[in-house]
Amino acid sequence: MSTLDGKVPAGAIKDKWTTYKDKVDLVNPANKRKIDVIIVGTGLAGGSAAATLAEQGYNVKAFCYQDSPRRAHSIAAQGGINAAKNYQGDGDSTYRLFYDTVKGGDYRSREANVHRLAEVSGNIIDQCVAQGVPFARDYGGMLDNRSFGGVLVSRTFYAKGQTGQQLLLGAYSAMNRQIARGKITMYNRHEMLDVVIVDGKARGIITRDLVTGEIERHSAHAVVLGTGGYGNVFFLSTNAMGSNATAAWKAHKRGAYFANPCYTQIHPTCIPRSGDYQSKLTLMSESLRNDGRIWVPARTEDVDAIRKGSLKPLDISEENRDYYLERRYPAFGNLVPRDVASRAAKERCDAGFGVNATGEAVYLDFASAIQRYGKEQALLKGESNPSDARIKELGKDIVKAKYGNLFDMYKQIADQNPYETPMMIYPAVHYTMGGIWVDYNLMTTIPGCYAIGEANFSDHGANRLGASALMQGLADGYFVLPYTIGAYLSNDIRTGPISTDSPEFEAAEKEVTKNMNFFVNNKGTHSVDYYHKKLGSIMWEKCGMSRNEKGLKEAIEEIAELREDFWKNVSVPGDANELNQELEKAGRVADFLELGELFAKDALNRNESCGGHFREESIEQDGPQKGEALRDDVNFKYVSAWEYTGKPSEAVLHKEELEFNDIELKTRSYK
Amino acid sequence: MNLTLKIWRQKSANVKGKMVDYKVADISEHMSFLEMMDVLNEQLVNGGEEPVSFDHDCREGICGSCSMFINGEAHGPVKNTTTCQLHMRSFNDGDTIYIEPFRAKAFPVIKDLVVDRSSFDRIQHAGGFISVNTSGNTQDANATAIPKHDADLSMDAAACIGCGACVATCKNSSAMLFTGAKISQYALLPQGKVEAKDRAQNMVAQMDEEGFGNCTNTGACEVECPKGISLSNIARMNRELLSGSILG
């Protein structure tokens, strides 16, 4: 076991990034034209990086598996993006955003990276507005804000419930400008299946053209992975169906350490599953917790009646409702961070208070908000004696303006009208804080291979705050990587084009082709989904919201067995030289079957509860925090970075000790 | 419920396709349409047959990947709804459902229900952006007040998911709703006004080059658009185009 150097610059935290930028090596414009950069993934991180590097003069080759870069899954982010603009004058600052993010991450992120993120957050909003992103505005024409969980200020910028869409379309538009100039060559419907290392440096990738099946070699002076998270290891998650870990996992197998794989965010407000055929879960934005109140019935007889259908939630009086977040966490109430809210929902459902047939749902209720807004509107309109119906009507209009598209989506899926009856929600896998280990430069342990956005591990610790994923993706792509990658590429100005004829490319291509041929020729007995669902169920049962030693040990064994069975008995119809969606899935599930095992191993190693990682063995035994998660800073104040050695369960642990010089380590309390 | 599906099968772009009949049983009304397709595909894979290829990704109605002409309507029978958000409760036991790809000259079929919509990307390359560099030194986001009304209208236009339902449903296979929405989003904002006229001309020229048809104001695109993009965006596009060509 060795220790890892995060390469954090010296100096006071508020000066580190400025000093770094002042002193970093630059590449002159004429030389940038001689340098190629590969970017895999075109979400907020990859898309913004591609646009910015191309704008600076590098030759960018960008890859996405979708039919257009505009469809990357960042598009589905709903609620908003944080920035320390303090437009509301409510006491926000760079320091406060930094502090909230480190605390929200349960003190498991790297301070210097988070501070840099907070520093550039304001620039992101400026940049996006300049690009024509239509953020919500107030009647004075100024930008509007809302609040998200785990903070006491309003710093979240939004575009209805479609903020991710609008930010991604902004990055896509910036890409389009560079595609038109010939500075980005865009490869749609291409999947990266390996990274190629030449003389110890990442010098290219192997891809499969998803339409023709052709295996291709692409070279560059550096390779950037903006390929998102691995939530689909659970099969059911809020990720897109195609979201996968293959690019990240291939890099891991080639030498990139994988950090904190067990840090998974289970989002508290998703639409509950309705049956075994379920293919994915749908998020209801955290912004709804600004106005929605979460509750379950306080009496078991009411729960039984609700489940039988003989009682409606509206029939339960106030005193017989348990607003459990407001009860347990009076300071933050319904706006506690996601990990806390999810565990509290699970606690109530495990105790038998879940409100749908599966027993896995709680209510998210907007009746109070509709009343409050209705009364306010009546006053504003000078209506002195409004009827109850009129108050409700006015209140609904406001709620509709704020969350209309989310309410419509809920209605389409759940077939219930959330303006009239509370939503039913339950936690679901949403985001992975873990990812490829990177240093301060965002470089992985493979020289010349970078990881940005959700694909890396650095900024969110053990729990990500709402509206911070969009911030990190764009910060990495627009404002961080374009500086840090120059330091590396400045050594490559005399290298010249990288050949794809080397033995390394040859060998990597051969390996990929062999794998593809194996799948279509295997003629096994079970579909790819059969294995993916089995893996998902092991992960959810044993590596989900609550984890213990016994379960994790079982998971490691069960996943290894499942993987062996997969390689014997998986069936993939069709050919390798055509559009073959089953073949695409097979490659991704093969990698999830390895990642899942490492995930469980990491969770087993980390015998503390922190953020989204909850170990049943590590709970506060008494005092005001009794029953809450117990972090262990003495033994676990480090990043676990795993080195691949041929078998996930035998991965070697490397530690990066975390230092907190600017924030005092405290028990995270939202009470 | 038990259903008969008549689905367009086409091995590849250059091979002739045909409608093929399939049966699926025990479909729950709570399933999404694509989950019903998953059931069919699982059935086909287990029987050693090739599953039906179709584009899909987020399954939340926002990425714009899913398409499908269902019983003669883009994204099926429910208004303001993508195929992935369509649920089987909109169908009845014993129904026969016709499932075809989005058809247009500018959207050639790749396989089964998967079509090539890269022509949409090329329209965007022609001008779907504001020319601003990523310097970190643009003016403060609140330096220019933008009337809420304009910002809201711009947002409504920007909500387009680029799925192509407008093209598939138009008898002329016109892409004017798609192109008009992008042109409008920028034309409505002060930061987009500088390039507004060139943008309209360049994007419309590319649209024509891709082989999309013209608009004859039937309004089918607006009716079938899963995001409710308004026809007034086409009018705004034509105004930008006209004022650009007259005033230069």
pLDDT digits (tens, 9 = 90+) for B19-39: 999 999 999 999 999 999 999
Calculate the average pLDDT of chain A: 96
CATH of domain A523-657: 1.20.58.100
> Cα separation of A284 and A286, whole Å?
7
Chain B neighbors of A180, CB-CB under 8 A: 125-126
Cα A364 to chain centroid distance, Å, stands at 23
> Cα separation of A459 and A114, whole Å?
5
Q: Is A381 left (phi over 0), alpha (psi -120 to 50) or beta?
A: alpha
Structure confidence by residue, pLDDT tens digits, A481-497: 999 999 999 999 999 99
The sign of the torsion formed by the CA atoms of A583, A584, A585, A586 equals positive
Distance from the Cα of B238 to chain A's closest Cα (Å) equals 20
What count of CB pairs under 8 Å joins A to B?
211
Chain A neighbors of B12, CB-CB under 8 A: 578-579
Task: Say if the Cβ atoms of A188 and B121 lie within 8 Å.
Answer: yes
> Cα separation of A406 and A401, whole Å?
10
* The residue type at A311: L
Structure confidence by residue, pLDDT tens digits, A125-158: 999 999 999 999 999 999 999 888 888 899 999 9
Nearest residue on chain A to B88, judged by CA atoms? A413
Q: Which of residues 201-240 of B touch A (CB under 8 A)?
A: none
- Whether A2 shows a pLDDT value over 80: the answer reads no
> pTM higher than 0.90 for the full model?
yes
Q: Which of residues 36-65 of B touch A (CB under 8 A)?
A: 38-39, 42, 44-46, 48-51, 53, 55-65
Distance from the Cα of A410 to chain B's closest Cα (Å) equals 10
Provide the token pair at A229: 């998270």
**Collapsed DSSP state (helix, strand, coil) of residue A297:** strand
Q: Which of residues 174-203 of B touch A (CB under 8 A)?
A: 185-186, 189, 191-192
Burial class (CB within 10 angstroms; exposed 0-12, middle 13-18, buried 19+) of B44: middle
Which value, to the nearest 10 degrees, does the dihedral of the CA atoms of residues B159, B161, B165, B168 take?
Answer: 120
CB atoms under 10 Å from CB of A466, counted, come to 26
Quick one: which of B70, B198, B75 has its CA closest to B130?
Answer: B198
Does A483 lie at the interface with B, CB-CB under 8 angstroms? no
- Whether A395 shows a pLDDT value over 80: the answer reads yes
**Domain definitions of chain A by residue range:** 267-429, 523-657
Structure confidence by residue, pLDDT tens digits, A300-312: 999 999 999 999 9
Quick one: which of A359, A365, A367, A369 has its CA closest to A426?
Answer: A359
**Count of residues making up chain B:** 248
> Cα separation of A576 and A578, whole Å?
6
Does A564 lie at the interface with B, CB-CB under 8 angstroms? no
B44, B87, B141 member nearest A143 (Cβ): B141
CB atoms under 10 Å from CB of B139, counted, come to 11
- Whether A288 shows a pLDDT value over 80: the answer reads yes
CB atoms under 10 Å from CB of A162, counted, come to 26
pLDDT of residue B248: 59
Chain A neighbors of B35, CB-CB under 8 A: 277-279
Which CATH number applies to A267-429: 3.30.1490.20, 3.90.700.10, 3.40.50.720, 3.40.50.10320?
Answer: 3.90.700.10
> Cα separation of A111 and A117, whole Å?
10
Q: Which helix (H) or strand (E) holds A422?
A: none
Chain B neighbors of A142, CB-CB under 8 A: 142, 145
Where does B27-117 have alpha helices with state H?
Answer: 33-46
Sheet holding B69-70, edge to edge: B18-24, B3-9, B96-100, B69-70, B73-74
- Whether B243 shows a pLDDT value over 90: the answer reads no
A129, A166, A479 member nearest B141 (Cβ): A129
**Where does the pLDDT of residue A276 fall: very low under 50, low under 70, confident under 90, or very high at 90 and above?**
confident
| Strand ranges, E, within chain B | 3-9, 18-24, 69-70, 73-74, 96-100, 109-111, 114-115
Active site residue A137: no
Provide the token pair at A287: 């912004």
**Where does the pLDDT of residue A1 fall: very low under 50, low under 70, confident under 90, or very high at 90 and above?**
low
Classify strands A81-82 and A156-157 as parallel, antiparallel or unpaired.
antiparallel
Distance from the Cα of B172 to chain A's closest Cα (Å) equals 24
Q: Which helix (H) or strand (E) holds A81?
A: strand A81-82
Structure confidence by residue, pLDDT tens digits, A81-139: 999 999 999 999 999 999 999 999 999 999 999 999 999 999 999 999 999 999 999 99
Quick one: which of A562, A554, A652 has its CA closest to A602?
Answer: A652
Which domains does chain B carry? 3-110 (3.10.20.30), 118-247 (1.10.1060.10)
Q: Which of residues 23-42 of A touch B (CB under 8 A)?
A: none
Task: Say if the Cβ atoms of A527 and B42 lie within 8 Å.
Answer: yes
Nearest residue on chain B to A240, judged by CA atoms? B58
Task: Say if the Cβ atoms of B151 and A68 lie within 8 Å.
Answer: no
Q: Residue A610 has what DSSP assignment?
A: B
Contact (CB, 8 A) for A32 and A134:
no
Q: What is the ipTM of this complex?
A: 0.98
Which is catalytic among the residues A338, A464, A615, A631? A338
